[in-house]
Amino acid sequence: MSEEAQKRTDEELLAAHIDGDRRAFPELMERYKNDLLHFLIRFVGKRAAAEDVFQEAFLQVHVSAETFDLTRRFKPWLFTIAANKGRDWHRKHSKRTMMSLSQDVGGEGEGARFVDLLESDQELPDANLLETEQADQVRAAVESLPSHLREILLLSYFQQMSYVQISDSLQIPLGTVKSRLHSAVAAFSNSWKSAQSQEQE
Q: Which CATH class is domain 114-200?
A: mainly alpha
Average pLDDT, the chain: 75
CA distances from 56 to 27, 49, 53, 92, 118 (A): 17, 11, 5, 15, 34
pLDDT exceeds cutoff 60 at 110: no
- Worst-scoring range by mean pLDDT, 19-23, 32-36, 98-102? 98-102
- The residue that leads in pLDDT, 168 or 127, is 168
pLDDT exceeds cutoff 70 at 146: yes
pLDDT of residue 134: 57
Every domain of the chain with CATH number 1.10.10.10 lies at 114-200
- The residue that leads in pLDDT, 67 or 148, is 67
pTM for the full predicted model: 0.55
Between CA 146 and CA 149 the distance in angstroms is 5
Nearest CA to 107 among 165, 151, 187?
165
Between CA 58 and CA 154 the distance in angstroms is 19
- Worst-scoring range by mean pLDDT, 84-93, 170-179, 187-196? 187-196
- The residue that leads in pLDDT, 3 or 42, is 42
SS3 state at 104: strand
Cβ-in-10-Å burial (0-12, 13-18, 19+) of 3 comes to exposed
pLDDT of residue 126: 45
Every domain of the chain with CATH number 1.10.1740.10 lies at 3-93
pLDDT of residue 124: 38
- The residue that leads in pLDDT, 197 or 84, is 84
pLDDT of residue 3: 55
What CATH number was assigned to the domain covering residues 3-93?
Answer: 1.10.1740.10
Q: What is the average pLDDT across 28-34?
A: 92
